[in-house]
Amino acid sequence: MGSVVGLLAETGRRIDPVMEKYLSRNVAPEFRDAVLYQIRIGGKRIRPALTMVSATAAGGKEEDAYPAAAAVEIIHNYSLVLDDIIDHSELRRGHPTVWKKYGISTAILVAVHYRESAAEALNDTPDPVAFNEIMAWTVKELIEGERLDILMEQAGREDEPYVVANRISEMRLEDYLRMVEKKTARLIETSCRFGGMSVGAPKRVVEALSRYGYNVGLAFQVGDDIIDLFGKQEKTGKRVGQDIKEHKLGNVVVLLALEELRGTPEGEELESIIKKPVISWEEVGRAMKIISSTHAREKAEELRDRYVSEALKALEELGESEARRLLEGLAVFIREREF
């Protein structure tokens, strides 16, 4: 199944020269390295690959989706550069983040440059007005998802008045899903939609591809949450329980456990751990033990699998093709993956 991801990555890599073309437009020679750094340190290019494979699955030519594919990946990296500033993250893909390497001012200028390069790419799509409108909406959704994500942190950012005043301390599953929808699913939905639109696919097909992308995005994030808590360290390379350590209410398994344990001493203990300003690994272990005593994991898996089924169902609108099988393969991979 891993080969699906390999195939997608290989497809996505074909977008690199196109991205570099737009990012190199109107850039001072002394600024170019800083601009290209973020995309040169890697990335799986899943979003542009989805745009390109969606274009092919809709019966069109991959090349016709290049400008839109470049735009979605540039926007994705734009959001990463800014997220790393916002989260004070020093490492990404095993390298220093842009702000860590160049400084915050430079990172902000790089990010702004990315947004303009994406605008230039969208201008080369077959219907710039439609593509622009959808991208503006998508980025506003990303902002809202990031805003909710920040407000779901249970401690920290004491120097940020807006965050301190608006923290979300009571959270229901639907609030969490709304955050994931905006922060993760929208751009993947738009990536697939853009593929169909780039090759002039009929509305029915474009909508089916969008539905596929949206559900794959949700399934992916729920899967990620499960792996964060139950993944095998030898496969993920990460210590389990990272989300708890970062006192995030925004992990679906934690939320489902809290819901099940509402009103019990274990529920209160779990909540009190999550809300501590600093959480020790010992407390992470205790939280994991409480979570494991519930049905949270299987409920989360059911949720993930429901999204995968929706994604697969959406694809039934499309004719048979190798590209469609690749999209199906990705959905199945998300259901099966352990890392």
# chain residues binding its own copies, by CB under 8 A: 50
CB of 185 to its own copies, least distance (A): 16
Output 156 or 200, the one with its CB closest to its own copies.
156
State the nearest-atom distance from the C-beta of 120 to its own copies, in Å. 5
Q: Residues of 183-208 as b/e, b for ≥16 C-beta within 10 angstroms?
A: bbbbbbbbbbbbbbbbbebeeebbeb
Q: State how far the alpha carbon of 146 is from the alpha carbons of 79, 107, 109, in Å.
A: 9, 18, 20
DSSP readout, 205-261? HHHHHHHHHHHHHHHHHHHHHHHHHH--HHHHSS-TTHHHHTTBS--HHHHHHHHHT
**Longest Cα–Cα distance in the chain:** 62
CB of 79 to its own copies, least distance (A): 8
| Comparison of 161 and 237: residue with beta carbon closer to its own copies | 161
Q: Both tokens of residue 256?
A: 């489902």
Residue 85-124 contact track with its own copies, rule CB under 8 A, x = bound:
xx--------------xxxxxx-xx--xx-xxx-xx-xx-
Q: Considering the complex, what minimum distance in angstroms separates the CB of residue 320 from its own copies? A: 37
**Residues 12-51: x/- map of binding to its own copies (CB under 8 A)?**
-------------xxxx-xx--x-----------------
**In angstroms, what is the minimal distance from the CB of 126 to its own copies?**
11
Q: Interacting stretch for its own copies, rule CB under 8 A, among 10-18, 126-134, 228-236, 266-274?
A: 126-134
Q: How far is CA 93 from the centre of its chain?
A: 15
* Coil, strand or helix at 42: coil
Nearer to its own copies by Cβ, of 102 and 230: the residue is: 102
Q: Is 181 in the site for its own copies (CB under 8 A)?
A: no
Residues 197-226 as x/- pattern, contact with its own copies by CB under 8 A: ------------------------------
Nearer to its own copies, 28 or 278 (CB): 28
Structure tokens at 278: 């600093």
What residues are paired with 95 via a beta bridge? 92
Q: CB of residue 277 vs its own copies: minimum separation in angstroms?
A: 18
Nearer to its own copies, 142 or 256 (CB): 142
Rg of the chain over CA atoms, in angstroms?
A: 20
Among 141, 189, 228, 271, binds its own copies (CB under 8 A): 141
Instruction: Pick from 15, 39, 70, 139 the residue near its own copies by CB under 8 A.
Output: 139
Integer Cα distance of 142 and 333 in angstroms:
25
Q: Would you give the end-to-end CA distance of the chain in angstroms?
A: 12
Interstrand relation of 91-92 and 95-96 (parallel, antiparallel or unpaired)? antiparallel
- Read off φ and ψ for residue 192, nearest 5 degrees: -70, -45
Work out which of 1, 32, 42, 160 binds its own copies, going by CB under 8 A.
Answer: 160
Residue 96: in which H helix or E strand, if any? strand 95-96
For the chain, give the number of residues. Answer: 339
| Residue 96, beta-bridge partner list | 91
The contact set with its own copies (CB under 8 A) reads: 25-28, 30-31, 34, 82, 85-86, 101-106, 108-109, 112-113, 115-117, 119-120, 122-123, 128-129, 132-133, 135-137, 139-144, 146-147, 150, 157, 159-163, 166
